[in-house]
Amino acid sequence: MSGADDALERRLAELEVKLTFLDDTVMALAQADAGQAVRMAALERALRELRGELSTMRSGSGDDPHSEPPPPHY
């Protein structure tokens, strides 16, 4: 092999290594994104449940929070 062929072989090997690292990084990011989506969905469910509980508590007490007088510091 000539020097040009050796240089081309080295460059190709370097590109293959970089591509492998990029593939690993993309895979790790995709897994992290999927995990975040699962956590976000769980948080959204919890928020809906808390809002429902708060609404139930407000309606159960019979008090409309908008009809209450302002706190004394106003």
pLDDT digits (tens, 9 = 90+) for 4-13: 999 999 999 9
Taking a C-beta distance cutoff of 8 angstroms, is the pair 58, 65 a contact?
yes
CA–CA distance, 36 with 44 (Å, rounded to integer): 12
Q: How many residues are given for the chain?
A: 74
Amino acid identity of residue 13, one-letter, is A
Residue 62 has pLDDT above 70, yes or no: no
SS3 content of the chain, % helix, strand, coil (to 5): 85, 0, 15
Q: What is the pLDDT of residue 46?
A: 98
pLDDT digits (tens, 9 = 90+) for 2-52: 889 999 999 999 999 999 999 999 999 999 999 999 999 999 999 999 999
Q: What is the pLDDT of residue 73?
A: 84
Q: What is the pLDDT of residue 57?
A: 86
